Structure 1
Amino acid sequence: MLLYSFLAFAICFFASARADFEDAQVVLDLSTANSTQSAPHWVVYADQYQSGVTGPPAASALEVQGAWDKAYEWTTLTADERTAIKADYAAAGIKLLVSVFGSTDVPTTSGANPNATAATMAAWVIEYGLDGIDVDYEDFAAMNSGTAEEWLISFTTALRASLPKDKYIVTHARELFTPNSYVGGGYTKINQEVGDLINWYNIQGSTEYADCDGLLATSSNTWPETAMFEIANNGVDLSKLVIGKPATASDATNGYMNASMLATCLETAKKSGWAGGAMAWQYPNADASWISTVRSLSWPV
């Protein structure tokens, strides 16, 4: 039995000059079944290989150079198989998204055209019947040099031209909101320019944020002003901030907190007016039991 009302199945694109599709990752987002997707959102990424499983878990990623891992697996299914899987997810109120770019992709630095890249990725989403895109942009050299912001603004605008908001979901997965750390303004600038085109942000809390205060109220000097309420205070809609965490200590190098502690943090945040939801990296470690525990003190199922 599924405990979630929305699942974002993610497939990732990575930026390069090639346009073939070979290997990728997955995101599972568990929120509501309508096209506009009201908060809270419950999101799980799925990239881990599972013997005997092709495509999404019963009910993955694209690079600029093509589809990899779970995304590629999705393309190997027949159209009828994809339709049947998609119908099962839809019946459970779950959406399937593709996660694009990722840690090995540097689209801005490599010179990928944002408009052409967006058009290619949007066409892939439409061709393979998915519900949208999660943008996992990790071109840190471009972010530090001040060239990432305009690239992402153009990319997101072009995505929405092909994937209208009444039919498709567009999310971004980042914590680069420190307003004074980036020459071009970082995600604070991006949110100001195209935040209305983005359904929500999957805030990646795998960098630090190991207790509720650091996660919600006051971040460290390493990543200043990136605790959730600090991000909101800098102009990001609180309902668009989805708290992300590794499901287990082995799923990230740091930032882990157990599901029970995360549940306490969500309870605290909800009492202060937040209703964004939570995200986990990754399935199958973040399974129905994990989500149930995380929701138990805020939105129990």
Structure 2
Amino acid sequence: MFALSFFYVLSSMLLFRGVLSAPACELSLESRSTSTSLSKRAVPAAPRFVVYSDKFVSGLTGPPPVSEIAGFNVFALSFLLLSGPADKAVEWTWLTADQRATVKSQYADAGVSLVVSAFGSTDAPTSSGADPVGTANTMAAWVKQFGLDGIDVDYEDFNAMDASDGKAEAWIASFTQQLRTQLPKGQFILSHAPVAPWFSVNKLFSAGAYLKVDQTVGDLIDWYNVQFYNQGTTEYTTCDNLLNTAGGDWPGSALFEIAAAGVDLNKLVIGKPGNSAGDADSGFIAPATLAGCVAQAKAKGWGFYKPPTST
């Protein structure tokens, strides 16, 4: 997720923000009042409201008081690196066991899950030769040692993926499989945060990129925080090229194009910058316009999971 301040997921939508605030209530999403996602559960059902943070805040160690993130149901401490925890993740370790238990209890009472985000732009695990199984074991052990609800895999090894030799896809699959052996589904959150182009049918990613990952281990992944930003100055900046037809440098990577390629629509989280500058290099859509995009996507069936009815 690069060097972020704060960002959040709204329903199935991810936005960066420079400050913490409630999820964009101007979107008037009805399921905010009817969803069970804020009930006490390790893996929240959609709609998911997720806030990430890796920014140092003077006078604050670890996550903010849960009252400051009212309306969210997942908070991601960024980042857990190959070298160990950094930023907000390492701050979590600076708290005493009793302090962590208190924070965790407060978050759980408010229906908020605490996870750690791994890698980010700092790490290139495939290119650096990290062992996927060993890395998964180490990171899963860290999650359990420090009492968190799961992990978000923010894999950004672009050189490995661009090589199109299948090594990146195989690494991610092995890493994910091993994480799940240590962090069972339904008990721990396991999300991924790929860039949107990695879900496109594109000759540049002839080994399949995240379409291959989804085909191989998608059943082990709870949802995808898709990064619809930093992929060009005009990409994903209108409702149409965000939702329907990406065009530009990354055709086939709009939300519904990704779903048409075989990825479960209910697992796709739209990632957008929350500010026009500072949170990402590109991809910003003004909040009022983005609200309209969300309404369009919702009308087409995105973002609100409805469990199957029994017969």
Please, what TM-score do these two structures have when normalized by structure 2? 0.77
The one of 263, 267, 271 aligned to 2:299: 271
1:56 aligns with 2:63: yes
Cα separation, 2, equivalents of 1:5 and 1:129: 25
Which residue of the partner structure matches residue 5 of structure 2?
none
Q: For 1:220 and 1:196, how far apart are their aligned partners in 2? A: 29
> What corresponds to 1:77 in structure 2?
95
Q: Is the contact made by 1:239 and 1:274 (CA closer than 8 Å) also made in structure 2? A: yes
Residue identity matched to 2:229: S
**1: distance between equivalents of 2:304 and 2:119?**
24
Query: In 1, distance between residues paired with 2:186 and 2:292?
Result: 34
Q: Which amino acid aligns with 1:171?
A: S
2:49 counterpart SS class:
strand
Q: 1:223: how far off?
A: 1.5
- Segment drifting more, 224-233 vs 34-43: 34-43
Spell out the pairing of 1:196-215 with structure 2 (5 A cutoff).
196-207=219-230, 208-215=235-242
Q: Which residue of 2 aligns with 1:37?
A: 44
In the alignment, residue 149 of structure 1 is paired with which amino acid? E
Instruction: Indicate which of 161, 167, 172 corresponds to 2:181.
Output: 161
What do residues 244-288 of structure 1 show as CA deviations (whole Å, max 9, x unaligned)? 1111122111101122222211111010011169xxxxxxxxxxx
Unaligned runs of 5+ in 2: 1-8, 12-21, 24-31, 67-76, 306-311
Tell me if 1:178 matches 2:178.
no
Q: String of CA shifts for 1:205-255, please: whole Å, max 9, x gaps.
A: 123311111110011231221100000000000000011111112211110
Aligned to 2:248: 221
Match of 1:129?
A: 147
Residue range with higher mean Cα deviation, 263-272 or 179-188: 179-188
Give the conservation status (yes or no) of the 8 Å contact 2:10–2:47: no
Of 251, 259, 275, the match for 1:232: 259
Aligned residues between the structures: 253
Matching residue of 1:118 = 136
Structure-2 separation of matches of 1:209 and 1:45: 21
> How much does 1:104 deviate?
1.6
2:275 corresponds in structure 1 to 248
Match of 2:208, as an amino acid?
Answer: G
Q: Aligned Cα RMSD in Å?
A: 2.1
- Write the letter of the residue equivalent to 1:177: F
> For the residues of structure 1 that align with 2:268 and 2:129, how far apart are their CA atoms?
30
Compute the TM-score of the two structures, normalised by the length of structure 1.
0.80
Letter in 2 for 1:57: P
Q: Does structure 1 residue 260 correspond to structure 2 residue 278?
A: no
Q: Could you tell me how far 1:38 is from its partner in structure 2?
A: 1.7
Give the aligned partner of residue 294 of structure 1: none
Question: SS where residue 251 of structure 1 aligns?
Answer: coil
| Uncovered stretches (5+) of structure 1, i.e. residues with no partner | 7-27, 278-301
Partner residue in 2 for 1:109: 127
Question: Which residue identity is paired with 2:104?
Answer: K
Divergent runs of 4+, >4 A: 28-31
Secondary structure in structure 2 of the residue aligned to 1:126? helix
